[in-house]
Amino acid sequence: MSWDRPFAQPVPLPKGPPAQTLRDAADYIRNLPQKERDRQEWRLAVQMLIDAAEDRGPMLFARMGIVRALEADIEGRLHPEQQDARQGKFQGKLKTDRDASI
């Protein structure tokens, strides 16, 4: 297992220097608040980092996981009402096929 594997391109992080290695990305995630780390995007990013560190997955996927989680975090801050809907807090009822009249 090698957490020192470098990304082909550094991953820009909102705070601090860009993540150059898997370890840098993992350290960034470890410093996130627990509530944020528990979000689906970050859990997936962590799994991709672990897979890359254990040579079970490509570095590109690890980088993509981090970038996607960062983007989802930014989207959530810009549009909190959409984040609530994605997390199942949307209270509206969606019409289904069985609701349709024949």
pTM: predicted TM-score of the whole model, two decimal places: 0.72
What is the C-alpha separation between 80 and 77, in angstroms, rounded?
A: 6
- Tell me if 76 sits within 8 A of 69, measured CB to CB: no
pLDDT given at position 73: 75
Tell me: the pLDDT tens digits for 55-64?
999 999 999 9
Structure-token match 């024949």, residue found: 102
Q: Is 88 left (phi over 0), alpha (psi -120 to 50) or beta?
A: left
For residues 40 and 28, what is the distance between their CA atoms, to the nearest angstrom? 16
Is residue 79's pLDDT more than 90? Answer: no
Alpha carbons within 13 angstroms on the beta-carbon side of residue 78 total 6
What are the structural domain ranges in the chain?
A: 21-84
